[in-house]
Amino acid sequence: MKKIALIGAAAVLLVAAAIMFLLRGPEPVPPTAAPYELLADGIGHFDRGELEPALEVLRQVPVGSIEKPEALYYEGSAHIMLKDYRAAVTSLEQALALESRNTGVLYALGVAWFKLGEVGLAKGYFSAVLDIDPGDEQAKGLMEIMTGLERQSDAESGDGESPESQ
């Protein structure tokens, strides 16, 4: 009788453990590489033009690690190169939330928004680069291009003012 009670108690414990496992889910698997190793590996893939493998590795850099903002920057840059501009904006905005004065991230966001046809947003990001680094020649050049595109768009739509009327 004691044997049956023991087997019954063990069965109840096993069922309870199984239910807890199903409710809680499996334990997270610890990363096999340190964040800086993942970042270095992802950048290596990126530098060799292996964009999909780069994205796969960069996504493994843990949130909260000091390497995460740079990983997100490279993710966004890889998405731009793959012409997935919406995904680029998502990654780059996450990076910007972690490092708000990163001119590389701001510049890449400007490029992504420009590629999405959002000249005003792009111009805002290039302007932010110039607020941080007034000597950035690339951002200056792109601001001139954006201003020219806005003038051209205004002239074509008839909404713009002529320079004489300003």
8 in any annotated domain: no
Rounded Cα gap, residues 105 and 147, in angstroms: 21
> Number of folded domains in the chain?
2
Each residue's pLDDT tens digit, 31-86: 568 999 999 999 999 999 999 999 999 999 999 999 999 999 999 999 999 999 99
Radius of gyration of the chain (CA): 26
3 in any annotated domain: no
Q: Name the helix (H) or strand (E) containing 44.
A: helix 35-47
Which CATH number fits the domain that encloses residue 76?
A: 1.25.40.10
49 and 94 fall within a common domain:
yes
pLDDT beyond 50 at 108 = yes
164 in any annotated domain: no
For residue 27, what pLDDT band results from cuts at 50, 70 and 90?
very low
Asked if 109 and 79 count as a contact pair (C-beta separation under 8 A), the reply is: no
Which tokens go with 95? 């990076």
Helix (H, G, I), strand (E, B) or coil at 137: helix
pLDDT at 54 (0 to 100) = 97
Q: Which pTM does this prediction carry?
A: 0.74
81 and 138 fall within a common domain:
no
Domain range enclosing 53: 34-100
